[in-house]
Structure 1
Amino acid sequence: MSSLLVVGSANADHVLTFDKLPQAGETLMCQQYHLELGGKGANQAVAASRLRNTQQTISFITALGDDGNASMMRNAWTADGIDLEGCYQIANQSTGTAMIFVNQQGENSIGVVPGANAYLSAEHFQQQQAKFEQASYMLIQLETSLESVQAALQLARQHQCINILNPAPAAVLSKEILSLVDIITPNETEALALTGVEVSDQLSASKAAAYFHQQGINKVVITLGSKGAYLSDQGKGQIIPAPRVNTIDTVAAGDTFNGALMVALDEGKSIQEAVIFANKASSIAVTRHGAQSSIPYREQLNN
């Protein structure tokens, strides 16, 4: 058995669907509302668990509030077979919450209230040190504090656990944090925030990737939405196209990509093969509504 670790956020997603996204100062009537289980960390843990093979186990380290949403999330993740030994409940705090506006083209705008996510800390990671020691890969994002992100990266590096940083939502990261990263997976917006390079084609993607390589990161995967992903492995770059699909909702597409990427790499696939696998998984997610409800199971990738 191989062990994979996801560290990060969990949110209750309030999803509102509109014909078009509201502009500043504009009030629109939404067409549909529903509550989804989300948060980038949770989405990636669910994606990894649904896409894994029978020889892989998925552990998730996160922080929840002491409310009904926390119980609902734990029950759902248990049903997906995720190890929740590292799931902490923070007293007198709400579980993280997100408000998600989606238009008819599948584009979205998201606002997040961190809640308990803000309390995930290095102390929690130390208590779960065995998970870092056992894991072959760790996947982490930026919906918890940068201090917690750095602590998790340091612990993964200490235990020779290969880490994947999905730098979302977009933020400016210190060179100290970037120096700890093995694989980084920004989208175009996040690449711009981190490198100052606006990614619009293969040439600009290679310039953004070069910045990450200069920080010591060997493998860079810049996700490009419907165009697929730009992969730069130790400076050798290529665009790996995604399957063409009818996009309905892009929520959790990037999270599905990242969870799939980790699973494929742990199986011994090359980085190119892993990106192809991840593109296929995320291309299914965008044809469905919702966050975790849109994430496919492994057998569905073969249909």
Structure 2
Amino acid sequence: MTKPIVILGIFVADTAYRAERQPKMGETILGNSFVLGPGGKGSNQSVAAAMASAGNGGKVHFITRLGRDAFADIARATWARAGVVPEVTEDGESYTGAAYIFIEAATGNNAIIVAPGAAGRVSVEDVEAKRALIESASVFVTQLEQPIPAARRALEIARAAGVVTILNPAPAAPLDDAMLALCDFVTPNESEAEALTGLPVTNVAEAEAAADALLAKGVGAVVVTLGGNGALYRDRSRSVHVPVISAGPVVETTGAGDAFNGGFAVALSEGRDVVDAVRFGCATAGISVTRPGTAPAMPARAEIEALLARS
């Protein structure tokens, strides 16, 4: 049996508002549209990975907490459609998380506020309860939306078992070198790389400098996602800039990083060369940004392979 991909993170219900601009404090403006849908970095990455997996179904497990409410029903329906196996602790003392997403109508750029709810209570004990699952994985992925002690413990368990570890350090938070050293791959975007290193990241050369600073902290390798400039892969022996792989006009950038991480994890789990895995992640993201939403925008395996074949 193929080893699974295991992801720790949060689900939130995305409440997405599209308008010409954000309101000022104390101001009310009319928006152009509203969409309620599934979100949360860990959940989005799980959906992206399940959709991108060959054969689909049963390969991607997602560890999280949910409340007992209508938003939890959205989560379970989303995972069922994509083929994600839920590893859920139900928390009747809290609520399923939610996110406010503002989308600028002219550009598709976004600003987000996350209230994690039950998933903000993911604990070390929750992780320990899934120890055997984490140890059985081919790739383990986490982010920083759930409490950091839980992410750290899961990375420790995965590393001790020889599982490939990916940390998507989002949202940006201070991390000590010991935690970074547990990571085979760290996948920040420009602002997260800057927050982790204190170095500006506005181009490929600056991304290389930030990646070097992370390597010096003990990270195995770094992938800096650069939006419209693609991604930079850097380890101690090579540095490769992978240009963006475009699938058409950009509609919305929300979830692009999650699409990348899900696709990247799948390609690594299949034993692809790491630069090929970065290209696979870029293609996954390249398709996702041509569609509105986060989890609903994640492409199927056949779409990714078709884009790579013509790129």
TM, length-normalised to structure 1: 0.96
> What SS does structure 1 have at the residue aligned with 2:138?
strand
Greater CA deviation, 268-277 or 21-30?
Answer: 21-30
Greater CA deviation, 3-12 or 17-26?
Answer: 17-26
Partner of 1:228: 230
Q: Give the 3 Å change call, closer, same or farther, for CA 129–172 of structure 1 in structure 2.
A: same
* Cα deviations by residue, 1:129-176 (Å, 9 ceiling, x for unpaired): 111121010010110011111111111112111110000111111222
> What SS does structure 2 have at the residue aligned with 1:139?
strand
RMSD across aligned positions (CA): 1.4
Q: CA deviation at 1:23?
A: 4.5
On the 8 A contact 1:3/1:58 being kept in 2, the answer is yes
On the 8 A contact 1:213/1:235 being kept in 2, the answer is no
State yes or no: 1:167 paired with 2:169. yes
Counterpart-to-counterpart distance in 1, 2:213 and 2:26:
38
Which runs of 5 or more residues in structure 1 are unaligned?
none
Partner of 1:45: 46
Partner of 1:279: 282
* Structure 1 residues 103-142: aligned runs within 5 Å: 103-104=104-105, 105-142=107-144
Greater CA deviation, 172-181 or 137-146?
Answer: 172-181
State yes or no: 1:188 paired with 2:216. no
Q: Which residue of 63, 66, 77 corresponds with 1:64?
A: 66
Q: Give the 3 Å change call, closer, same or farther, for CA 99–186 of structure 1 in structure 2.
A: same
* Structure 1 residues 148-297: aligned runs within 5 Å: 148-244=150-246, 245-297=248-300
On the 8 A contact 1:154/1:180 being kept in 2, the answer is yes
* Cα deviations by residue, 1:106-135 (Å, 9 ceiling, x for unpaired): 100000111001111111111111111210
Greater CA deviation, 254-263 or 121-130?
Answer: 121-130
Q: Give the aligned residue type for 1:183.
A: F
Count of residues in correspondence between the two structures = 302
Counterpart-to-counterpart distance in 1, 2:245 and 2:148:
34
Sequence identity percentage: 36
Counterpart-to-counterpart distance in 2, 1:46 and 1:82:
6
On the 8 A contact 2:189/2:226 being kept in 1, the answer is yes
